[in-house]
Structure 1
Amino acid sequence: MKKKFVPYIVGLPNLGVGLLWAMNMSVIPLFVSKLNVSNAQQGRLISMGAFTGIFVQYLVGLLSDRSNFKMGKRKPFMIMGSVLAALFLILLPYTNTYMTAFMLAFLFYFFLNFYQGPYYSLIPEAVDEKELGLANGFARVVSVIGSAIIFMLGPSLWEKNYKYPFYLGAILGLVTVVITVFLVREDTSKYEKPNKVSFDFIKFPSVLKLYLSVFMVYMSFGFITPFFVKYCTTNLNISNSDANNALLILTLAGAVFAVPIGKLADKIEKRKVLLLGVVLFALSLALGTFVKNKTALFAIMAVIGIGFIAIQITTYSILAEIVPPERLGEFMGMMNLFISLPQFLANNIMGFMLDRFGYGVFFPTAAVAMVIAGLIILTSRFNKYISKGISSSL
């Protein structure tokens, strides 16, 4: 593989990752609804994606940092996880009871997280540092393309046979990993293997501040994701198709701006780009409270898409530069604890709140969490890691 193509080829698995997580907002909630369950039960099942993310990516990050397979540190975990995630996803729509669906969903989410963590560690190890923003930006482009595929094709495939979207997700998730594993080389020669496991991220102030801001971002995101389609159809009287179109607009807006935002993050202080993304997201959520028609909904979803892609690109780019490089997989996995735990909490909290208080709390609750994230970023600095000291803001 020629070096100039690596930032693009290494992004391909994110198409499958984006598609599979997008199913959490569309196809999987539709399937769970077929089982005639409450909002709280639906939220509980979908929150297993976040729950498994709390510990799986961290543990796999530790293992991959310390592995020494002939094909690389990350690739074996990517292959194993993608194969098993595809298997359990295909089995999921064949169940007709909530408990069986819950167990299969748990296993699907477990192995999706199993390969996602090592994959995100592979990106900065496969590309030059000066192209990290480009690589992460392109990875987000294909991620939102994957999301767009399920939002565009999911409803029509569902109408033909509700199992078809699950087949599509499994195939694309697996194929994109296989392509990258065979075409991209891991460059880990400059990294020493860490000797001990240390839960010492609190000794890195920049890392801790980034983790706290990410926690609040994904608390906000977790309030929205499992219930968005149901909110549209129940509270706004918008069809399932138009609700999916709103999600499609969000992903397309992100795709259009991902590479420019990635390049911008390579040129200016990354914290400023991250803060801009959070501000756009927070304002859009606040305005969402007053949305009463699909035109206005489409407009705020476009802005949310731009804000969210800026958040995704910059958080991973910043983290790769503020942690010891030989422990990158560990810190990537640890960050996913701060991504997954708030979603697990938020999915269950919002399910309870909707059953108890109604849909009036939907957007305001998410907006408040995002504002808190913005305040943390505004008062923080993320300093680049150097082996014998710390210097320069990102």
Structure 2
Amino acid sequence: MKKKFVPYVVGIPNLSVGLLWAMNMSLIPMLVGTVTDSNRMLGLLVSMGAFTGIFVQYLAGIISDRSNFKMGKRKPFILGGAIIAAIFIMILPFSKSYVLMFVCAFLFYFSLNFFQGPYYTLIPEVVDDNQLGLANGFSKIISVLGSGVILVTGPMLWDKNHSFPFLAAAVLGIISVMIGTLPIKENKEKYTKPTKISFDFIKYPSVLMLFASVFFIFLSYGCITPYFVKYCAQQLNFSNATASNGLFVLTIVGALFAVPAGIVSDKINRKVVLLAGTVIFTVGLGLAAFATSVLSLYLLLSLIGIGFICIQVTIYAILAEIVPPERLGEFMGIMNLFISLSQWIATLVMGWILDTAGFKYFFPVAAVIMFIAAIVVFSSKFNKFVNASNSSVRM
């Protein structure tokens, strides 16, 4: 494959990431609602996506770092994890009890995280550094496309048969992973023997600050996503379809800004784009607490979409620049540990808040946490890694 096509082809598997995680925002909560009305039980099940991400992506990262299959060091784990995730998402709607649903969901989340870690590590390994923002931006567009497909068609398929959107997601996910993974040739020149496994990210101040930033970003994000549809239904008296379409608006607007944000981050400064994303996200969340009409909510979701895409296209690119390249998979897994841990905590705590205090704290709590994230990003310095002696230069 010609090098100029790689930043685009390698982004295609992100369709599966987008559509499968979009299930978490709408269809999985709707499915859980068929067996329980408890926000805590919903939060517990949905939080397994974040809980498994705490350790699975790190595990997948260190294993793939130390692998060297004929196919490559990342591709076997990407394909295997995606296929197993597709199997369990197909089985999920046929679970007739909360316990069975919980087990299937846990195995689905486990497999999806095992695929996702090596996939996000593959992108900076096969794309030239000066096109990394472009590649991340395009992959986010594809992810948003996948999310949009599920958010728009999911409720319609759900009305026909509860299993249809889950089956469609599985098929589309597998097709996209195969199209975007099999043609890619991994760069074996970048294969270097990793050092021994060491949880020593605290020795890298830039990495530590990035991890702190993403922790608060996704702590805020985790407060919102599992409960948004219920918030719209119970607080605003909107239909499930209206709420799902709002999430679609968020993702589509994000897609429109993904490549521009990636290009700006390549040419100017990735920290500036990341900071802008957290500020925009904070403003959107704060104002959303006062939205009472469909139009006003959709406009604010559009603003949130712009902020979130600025965050998404920069955090992985920044990480690739500030860590030892031979340990990229490991550090990618650790960052996803912080992302997942924060969402797990947020999902459980917000479920408790909603059951005890109601939805009036829904957006305000998330906005305050995102504001803290903006402060952390503003005070951070992300220094580019130079050599094993921890020498670095400022980005």
Q: After TM superposition, is the score higher than 0.5? A: yes
Secondary structure, aligned partner of 1:291: coil
**C-alpha distance in 1 between matches for 2:101 and 2:340:** 20
**C-alpha distance in 2 between matches for 1:190 and 1:80:** 23
**C-alpha distance in 1 between matches for 2:226 and 2:153:** 19
**C-alpha distance in 1 between matches for 2:203 and 2:173:** 36
Following superposition, the deviation at residue 76 of structure 1 comes to 0.6
Secondary structure, aligned partner of 1:174: helix
Give the counterpart letter for 2:394 in structure 1.
S
Unaligned runs of at least 5 residues, structure 2? none
Give the counterpart letter for 2:77 in structure 1.
F
Alignment of 1:229-268 (within 5 A): 229-268=229-268
Secondary structure, aligned partner of 2:78: helix
Matched, 1:219 2:234: no
Instruction: Work out whether residues 207 and 322 of structure 1, in 8 Å CA contact, stay in contact via their aligned partners in 2.
Output: yes
**C-alpha distance in 1 between matches for 2:63 and 2:203:** 22
Corresponding residue for 2:59?
A: 59
**C-alpha distance in 2 between matches for 1:56 and 1:148:** 26
Following superposition, the deviation at residue 68 of structure 1 comes to 1.1
Alignment of 1:147-162 (within 5 A): 147-162=147-162
Q: Cα RMSD (Å) of the superposition?
A: 0.9
Corresponding residue for 2:381?
A: 381
Corresponding residue for 1:360?
A: 360
**C-alpha distance in 2 between matches for 1:190 and 1:354:** 48
Following superposition, the deviation at residue 37 of structure 1 comes to 3.3
Unaligned runs of at least 5 residues, structure 1? none
Q: Give per-residue Cα distances to partners, 1:137-185, cap 9 Å, x unaligned.
A: 0000000111100011001111111101101111111111111221111
Corresponding residue for 1:390?
A: 391
Greater than 3 Å deviation, 4+ residue runs = 388-394
**C-alpha distance in 2 between matches for 1:190 and 1:230:** 47
Q: Give per-residue Cα distances to partners, 1:325-378, cap 9 Å, x unaligned.
A: 000000001100010001001000000000000000100000011001000011
**C-alpha distance in 2 between matches for 1:188 and 1:224:** 41
**C-alpha distance in 2 between matches for 1:267 and 1:19:** 30
**C-alpha distance in 1 between matches for 2:100 and 2:114:** 21
Following superposition, the deviation at residue 195 of structure 1 comes to 3.4
Corresponding residue for 2:303?
A: 303
Instruction: Work out whether residues 125 and 188 of structure 1, in 8 Å CA contact, stay in contact via their aligned partners in 2.
Output: no
**C-alpha distance in 2 between matches for 1:389 and 1:199:** 16
Secondary structure, aligned partner of 2:384: strand
Corresponding residue for 2:293?
A: 293
Following superposition, the deviation at residue 389 of structure 1 comes to 4.7
**C-alpha distance in 1 between matches for 2:37 and 2:69:** 45
Give the counterpart letter for 1:141 in structure 2.
I
Q: Give per-residue Cα distances to partners, 1:20-41, cap 9 Å, x unaligned.
A: 0011011100000011230000
TM-score (norm 2): 0.98
**C-alpha distance in 1 between matches for 2:236 and 2:190:** 55
Moved more, 206-215 or 191-200: 191-200
Following superposition, the deviation at residue 217 of structure 1 comes to 0.3
Secondary structure, aligned partner of 1:258: helix
Instruction: Work out whether residues 14 and 142 of structure 2, in 8 Å CA contact, stay in contact via their aligned partners in 1.
Output: yes
Moved more, 192-201 or 357-366: 192-201
Moved more, 384-393 or 281-290: 384-393
Following superposition, the deviation at residue 79 of structure 1 comes to 1.2
Corresponding residue for 1:314?
A: 314
**C-alpha distance in 1 between matches for 2:102 and 2:245:** 27
**C-alpha distance in 1 between matches for 2:394 and 2:34:** 50
Secondary structure, aligned partner of 2:391: strand
**C-alpha distance in 2 between matches for 1:385 and 1:107:** 36
Matched length: 394
Instruction: Work out whether residues 281 and 370 of structure 2, in 8 Å CA contact, stay in contact via their aligned partners in 1.
Output: yes
Secondary structure, aligned partner of 1:68: coil
Secondary structure, aligned partner of 1:104: helix
Instruction: Work out whether residues 191 and 325 of structure 1, in 8 Å CA contact, stay in contact via their aligned partners in 2.
Output: no
**C-alpha distance in 2 between matches for 1:190 and 1:32:** 44
TM-score (norm 1): 0.99
Give the counterpart letter for 1:179 in structure 2.
I
**C-alpha distance in 1 between matches for 2:268 and 2:366:** 29
Corresponding residue for 2:327?
A: 327
